[in-house]
Amino acid sequence: MFIKDIELTNFRNYDILKTDFNQNVNLILGNNAQGKTNLLEGIYLTSIGRSFRTNKDSDLVNFQKEMARIKVNAEKAYFDTSVEITIKKDSKKSIKKDGTTIKKTSELLENILIVIFSPEDLKIVKDEPEKRRKFIDRELCQIQPLYYDSLSNYKKTLAQRNTYLKEEAIDNSILDLWDVQLAQYGARIITIRDQFVRKISGYSGKIHSSITNEKESLFLEYNPNIDLKDDIEEQEGYFYDEIKKSFKNDLRQRTTTKGPHKDDISFYVNGINMRSFGSQGQQRTCALALKLAELNLIKEETEEDAILLLDDVMSELDIERQKYLIKTLKENQLFITTTDIDKNLMTSFPDAKLIYIHNGKITEN
């Protein structure tokens, strides 16, 4: 699949932008703080209805305006599709898919499939667990609407339970209502995450081995905060029991201490934990393998080639990793932001469309 064109109105630092794209490679050039990443953000927004940079939709609206609009047209294997998102500072955003307003964001999923790779992702191995949970959630929300609904409901329930735990007097019967819901949604999340990590570990292991000329073997391990069980019913019951056991600790800390909001992933290369003992080069190779594995998994799950957004990441990779990345991305539409016209990029992508951005405006050559 590929995105054919985009329209931005009052989005970030763009007043009005309209442009079409190359179905293979698009190089987005310009100095820092001109709007290159904002353009990628607008593209990404149409995949899951959320930004990869902020949780506040109001941040996306030009600070001098009250409303922003993003619209893309895309071509898929068997049909075309369009997504239009309108964001108002004082109300909920509205989303149209193929001209029809949708009621839930989950109806947008599995439509425009996008993987984002930024310098922040290069730190996914060594940074805090929250970054790794976001990686799992971002990918699974695209390809599994059931996961998106379960995660959304889990977060709402968790926030309500945590607020109630701060009350002076706790009614156990009221708390139990949230405990039941947390167990229900949390069990689904844990089960789906386990399946996902197993699959992504297989793909990333093969890619990592290829990048390192068979010298290193990568394995991903899911570290759930609640022990894994054999089936969803058993998982739900066990989760509920664990929440009850942690009640005194939760009450003392005034927050929920058990659940998938505490999960993590471990990266092992040749049996060595990369977070604690991996070099920066090894950690970056793990991150690259992980991102390329995302593309493979999406292809397996949807039979579509996902779009890859490379946000100022090429300069962070050494020449060998750059070459591997370029060599393997023959079927995917690419959007690459960079501050300079890199000779290696120009040689590798002679037919790329060049989009120059300055202060929220573009010129094309």
The reply to whether 26 sits in an annotated binding site is no
**Is 293 marked as binding a ligand?**
no
> What is residue 136's three-state secondary structure?
helix
Other Cβ atoms within 10 Å of 149 Cβ, number:
17
Do residues 309 and 2 touch, judged by C-beta distance below 8 A? no
Give CA–CA dist 114/141, Å, rounded. 11
Among candidate residues 301, 227, 249, 334, the one with its CA nearest the CA of residue 3: 334
3-state secondary structure of 273: strand
Instruction: Determine whether the annotation assigns residue 359 to a binding site.
Output: no
The tokens for 2 are 């590929």
Ligand-binding site membership of 37 (annotated): yes
3-class SS shares of the chain: helix, strand, coil, % to 5: 45, 25, 30
34 is in an annotated binding site: yes
| Cα-only R_g, the chain | 22
Q: How far apart are CA 185 and CA 272, in angstroms?
A: 33
Count CA within 13 A, CB hemisphere, residue 304: 23
Residue 30 labeled ligand binder: yes
Q: Could you list the residues known to form a binding site, using ranges.
A: 30-37
Q: Could you list the residues known to form a binding site for ATP, using ranges.
A: 30-37
